[in-house]
Amino acid sequence: TMHSTNDLRGKVRPFLEEASQRSGETAYLGFAHNGRVLYLDSVIPATVRPVRAVIGVDAPLHCTAIGKALLHGLVVPEAAAA
């Protein structure tokens, strides 16, 4: 639900901010569903030119960095199903 998504975003946001600050790169929050990644939040540092990921938009897992990271964390049967 939208309420639980907002709760998750609120809890994870400080970690995204820290990851972005430490790396100097954009940090994303997303999840895998039906072979796609859905972007829930992002933190883009001022020194980085924004990229095209839009919150609430999905993309194929194999076409994005976050999707590839999510695929890496799946066990073989789950990855094959994605």
Which of 9, 11, 49 is closest to 31 using CA atoms? 9
Cα–Cα dist 58/43, whole Å = 17
| Residue from 40, 36, 45, 58 nearest 17 by CA | 45
- Is the pTM here over 0.75, yes or no? no
Q: Which of 80, 33, 29, 28 is nearest to 60 (CA)?
A: 33
pLDDT in tens, 9-61: 899 999 999 999 999 988 999 988 888 998 899 998 888 776 666 777 888 88
